[in-house]
Amino acid sequence: MKKLIKNLKIKRRAIATLAAMHFYGNPSSKLKIVGVTGTNGKTTTATLLYKIATELGYKTGLISTVENIIGTEKRHSTHTTPGPIPLNKLLSEMVDKGCEYVFMEVSSHAMDQKRVAGVNFVGGIFTNLTHDHLDYHKSFENYFGAKKKFFKALSLNAFALSNIDDEYGKRILEKIRAKKYSYGFKNKADFNERLDSKLIGEFNAYNILAIYGAAVLLGFDKEKVKEIIKNLESVAGRFESIKSINNTTGIVDFAHTPDALENVLKTIQKMKNGNQKIITVFGCGGDRDISKRQIMTKIVYENSDIIIPTADNSRNEKIEDIFLDMKKGLPDKVLKEVLFIADRGEAIKKACSLALAGDYILLAGKGHEKYQEILGVKVPFNDMEELKKNLI
C-alpha cells in the first residue's frame, strides 16, 4: 500500500511538472539560475548572491526560505523550493520583468519530489550535509542521495561548486557532468581566499567563500565583488543580533539542526571575553525528525550556561511529548534544574530577566519565521520582536 501511494504521488508530481511546462514553456532557459543545496547555509548563500548581483547592476531574482524577490519586489515564501507549477510561474514572471540572474535554494525534498524537473541551472553550490530530515528520508544515505540528484542533473556547461572541507563535499562532485570546483580552508581548493566581511563565525566564513567562488564562476568582476562583500549585512533571522543598554547581546538564529546549533554556540563562545553567560532558548519541531531532539539538547547543554527548552512549532504533537524526548539529552542530575517553559514568549521573557550585563541570549530555531504552529494553527509570533520587548 505504501509503495502504491508513493508511486501515485510521483505520478502526480510528474503531471504537475508537465502542466507547468505546458503553461509557462521553460522560462529557466532564458535565465541564469544558480541553485544552492545543503543542510545549513542555503538561505544566506542564495540571498547574499542575490545582493551581490543586484549591487553590480543586474536585475535579479531570489527564491528562498525567507522570501521570494523579483528585482526589488518581494513575495511571500511558503516553501524553501516551490512546487513545479508555482516555481515555473515565478520564473516566468522573472523573465517578463527582465531578470537575468536567479539564485534559489534547492531542498532535498524538492529533489526527491521532482519540483525542479526541467529547470536549467547554470551552476550549483553544495554547502554541507548534517543531521536533518531523517523523518522524511529515513536514512542519511537517502538524504545525501537527494542532494546528489541535483548535481547529477547539471549539464556539461554548468558549474558545480562544493565545500571540500565537508565530509560529503568530495562525494557530491563524483560522477557528474558539470565542471567541478571546490572551496574551503582546510583542504586544497579552487577557492580558499580570506575575504573581509562583517559577518562573524566559521559557518559564515564558508558562506562568504561560497558566494565569492560562485560570483567568480559567473564572470563577475572579482575586485568589485570583494568590495561588496565587505559591506554585506546578515540575512534576517541568521545570526541577527541586538544589544541592550547594559550591553547584553540578543541573537536570533534559525539553527534547528545539531550542527547549526553547535556552530552558532561555538561562535558565541569565541565572542566572549570574560565571565559572561550564554543563555539559550530553543525547541524541537513537532511532527519532524525525533532522533535529533536528544542530540540537540545535549549540544545546547554542553555549550551554554543556562538553557531554557521551549516550544518551536510543535504542530500536532503535544509539547510534553517533545520535552520527554529532549530530556533524554540531559544528565539526570540536572533535570530538576533545567527550566522547561512551554510558552515561547514566557521562555524569552525569563531568559531576558536572567541576563546580566555582557551576557549573551540565543533564541534558536525560528529565525525569520513570524509565527508559531501549535495544534495545526499558525499564530503570530516573532522572536526578534519578543527579544526587543523584553531585553532592557
Specify the DSSP element, H or E, that contains 325: helix 319-327
Residue 9 scores a pLDDT above 90: no
- Of residues 195 and 80, more confidence is placed in 195
- Which pLDDT tens digit goes with each residue over 343-368? 999 999 999 999 999 999 999 999 99
If we measure between CA atoms, which residue out of 240, 239, 248 comes closest to residue 392?
Answer: 248
Q: 104: which strand partners?
A: 35, 63
Q: What confidence tier does 120 reach under pLDDT thresholds 50, 70, 90?
A: very high
Domains and CATH numbers, the chain: 2-230 (3.40.1190.10), 240-390 (3.90.190.20)
Query: How big, in percent rounded to 5, are the helix, strand and coil portions of the chain?
Result: 40, 20, 40
Amino acid at position 114, single letter:
K
Q: Worst-scoring range by mean pLDDT, 51-60, 123-132, 204-213?
A: 123-132
Kindly report the backbone phi and psi dihedral angles of residue 282, in degrees, each rounded to the nearest multiple of 5, phi listed first: -155, 165
Residue 17 scores a pLDDT above 90: no
Which pLDDT value is given to residue 242? 94
DSSP string spanning 138-164? SSHHHHHHHHHHHHHTS-TTSEEEEET
Q: Tell me what the mean pLDDT of segment 237-253 comes to.
A: 94
Residue 243 scores a pLDDT above 80: yes
Say what the pTM is: 0.87
Which pLDDT value is given to residue 80? 83
Q: Round to whole Å and give the CA distance between 352 and 331.
A: 25
Which pLDDT value is given to residue 5? 47
**Mean pLDDT of the residues in the chain:** 92
